[in-house]
Amino acid sequence: MKVYSFEKLEVWKLSKEFVIEVYNLIEKFPQSEKYGIVDQLKRAAVSVPTNLSEGSGRNTGKDKAYFTQISYSSLMECLNLLIISKDLNFISDNELTFLRSKIEVISKKLSNYRRSQLNH
């Protein structure tokens, strides 16, 4: 079976794992948030690896970098929603700290990846 270029990226693998962690976390959110923060957080989290994969199909470094930037923006959206979730007592300090550390790693890798795409 063919392995596509995005599947080889460490940042894609980490962001895919992040999606799973977010999905597991939001299972305990109040039902009333199903169409609020939960839906928004799911879409933002899934957007991170999805835009990396979409960008891998583009021809120029500039086009690829555009999708990497969208991934980064979606990751920041996740951080914002997680902070709000903590403020609303949907998640604990420890859960926020754990996911925030994942976000920090992914964000650095996205920035480096975007930089390398623009230099090619």
This prediction's pTM: 0.96
Rg value, the chain, Cα: 15
Enumerate domains of the chain plus CATH numbers. 9-118 (1.20.1440.60)
The predicted pLDDT at position 93 comes to 98
CA 90 to chain centre: 19
The predicted pLDDT at position 76 comes to 98
Cβ atoms within 10 A of the Cβ of 51, count?
A: 24
Residue 104 has pLDDT above 90, yes or no: yes
CA 6 to chain centre: 14
How confident is the model over 15-50, as pLDDT tens digits?
999 999 999 999 999 999 989 999 999 999 999 999
The predicted pLDDT at position 112 comes to 98
The predicted pLDDT at position 119 comes to 93
